[in-house]
Homo-oligomer: A and B are copies of this chain.
Amino acid sequence: MARPVTLFTGQWADLPLASLAAKACDWGFDGLELACWGDHFEVDRVLADPSHRVEKLALLERHGLGCWALGGHLVGQAICDRIDRRHQATLPPEVWGDGDPRGVQERAAERMKDTARAAAACGIAQVNGFVGSPIWHLLYSFPPNDFDVIERAYEDVAARLAPILDVFEQEGVRFALEVHPTEIAYDFVTTRKLLDAIGSRESFGINLDPSHFAHQFLDPAAFAIEFADRIQHVHMKDSKKRLDGRRGILGSHLPFGDRDRGWDFVSPGHGDVDFDEFIRALNRIGYDGPLSIEWEDSGMDREWGAPDALAFVRRLDFPASAQAFDQPMKRREP
């Protein structure tokens, strides 16, 4: 039984959901991971208006599309981030409000609780997203960091998430942090620290996107094995390094897609991720949720890319073995 393949809608939010759903249906996707921006999944309307909710779900159903998860990345980012003007561009006006950092963070936290409620109301048991980081700007320790500040940040994030996770647990919904630069957890070490700080809350897990590992020279298959019990959801995205001694791994403060960057996101199968190993790891840990294509490739038309990515993932998604291959060489009762 192959896993469902879904399309994350966040990079298509300039299109009305109705129009995107029609495309996704034509391309053959099994479902959508709805972004909580554009008109794709409007948390406040879903909570306020039961008929809106019914219509939304009917729209998906009409196109034969399931929904296994929501993407609450933009609001989530504001919960623990140091707030600046960039957040204004990505937050709903009522969450941004007057832009006072503490207030923005609090309203973002409340909106994330509402996201859990809205998900539950629609029968969706999974929300993926970001939570930001109070210490991202301390990435490189110069001026020298006070590393107590670093350690306390994990505690601080855990404290801010605790009441949000309470709501998720009440609603029977899970929250998966996408491990990603600019988040408090972006690699093995930082993920371990965050999980230690949060403790064993069953609502909290990881949305594993291998594209964020490849450019850090990290092995996403090994990550899946190491954090097996926390992998709640999986993104299928790829990235490619182009290191020639003049393009740096840190990105040169250039926009994605600039020809002078040392790495970029690319459509799955066009980059450095070893997806064969990645599927083997997912099989090994028994992950049977969706493979959700988050389509980001600055050098490819997205309407060409989405079905190309879908075909790639379908070909790739082989099931695990139930038996050792050398077992049939042995007689039953020696």
Residues of A within 8 A of B (CB): 10-14, 37-38, 74, 77, 81-82, 85-90, 92-93, 135-147, 149-150, 180-182, 186-190, 216-219, 222, 225, 242-257, 259-260, 262, 265-266, 270, 276-277, 280, 283-284, 295-302, 304-305, 308, 318-331, 334
Instruction: Evaluate whether A334 and B244 lie within 8 angstroms (CB atoms) in the complex, with A139-B253, A141-B326 already known.
Output: no
Instruction: Evaluate whether A88 and B308 lie within 8 angstroms (CB atoms) in the complex, with A189-B254, A189-B260, A325-B295 already known.
Output: no
Whether B145 lies near A329 (C-beta < 8 A) is no
Which B residues are CB-close (under 8 A) to A146?
85-86, 89
Residue of B138, B219, B249, B270 touching A245 (CB-CB under 8 A):
B219
Whether A82 lies near B137 (C-beta < 8 A) is yes
Q: How far is the CA of A330 from the CA of B259 in the complex (A)?
A: 23
Whether A330 lies near B90 (C-beta < 8 A) is yes
Whether B248 lies near A216 (C-beta < 8 A) is yes
What distance in Å separates the Cβ of A18 from its nearest Cβ neighbour in chain B? 16
Q: How far is the CA of A141 from the CA of B180 in the complex (A)?
A: 12
Instruction: Evaluate whether A142 and B180 lie within 8 angstroms (CB atoms) in the complex, with A325-B298, A328-B14 already known.
Output: yes
Instruction: Evaluate whether A77 and B14 lie within 8 angstroms (CB atoms) in the complex, with A244-B245, A246-B218, A318-B300 already known.
Output: no
Instruction: Evaluate whether A276 and B270 lie within 8 angstroms (CB atoms) in the complex, with A190-B252, A217-B243, A245-B222 already known.
Output: yes
Instruction: Evaluate whether A253 and B14 lie within 8 angstroms (CB atoms) in the complex, with A143-B89, A245-B217, A301-B318 already known.
Output: no
Chain B residue with minimal CB distance to A326? B144
Which B residues are CB-close (under 8 A) to A181?
140, 142, 250
